[in-house]
Amino acid sequence: MWNRIVLCFFLLLCSLFAAEVIVIPPISEDIKTEGQKIYNKECYACHRWSREFAGPAMGENIGKYISQKEELVRYLMNPTQKQPEKYPPMALDPLSQKDAQVISSWLFYLLDNPKDPNRPR
């Protein structure tokens, strides 16, 4: 009887303190293709890879997340304007978790592979 009570209490505690784990999928040809499609649809209108445009350079933005990759996914799922004094309001609708994971994987891949022919300009 006590074992069950202790087990239930332990499971309840675990569920209260469980953190959502976000996994960045490993890069593959499918991830590259889908990531590029998402970028072209959602990001390219304002972000170029290596220069400022209507928003900051994407390469620099992604570099800020290199040590906290899951935070990029969380941001893309709930985007907020980071520099309102410098850029117009961002028109990005929140991405699904899957799309945020896919584009994050592709963007981090591009940081490590700057000569990829499909890297945005």
Q: What's the confidence (pLDDT) of residue 20?
A: 65
CA dist 35 and 75 (Å) reads: 16
Q: How much is the pLDDT for 44?
A: 94
Q: Are 62 and 112 in contact (CB under 8 A)?
A: no
Digit-coded pLDDT (tens) for 37-84: 999 999 999 999 999 999 999 999 999 999 999 999 999 999 988 888
Superfamily for 23-81+90-121? Answer: Cytochrome c-like domain (1.10.760.10)
pLDDT at residue 9 in the model: 52
Q: What is the pTM of this model?
A: 0.81
What residue ranges do the domains of the chain occupy?
23-81+90-121
CA angle (72, 31, 90) in 5-degree steps: 40
Collapsed DSSP state (helix, strand, coil) of residue 17: helix
CB under 8 Å to 104, separation ≥6 — which residues?
A: 24, 65, 69, 72, 73, 76
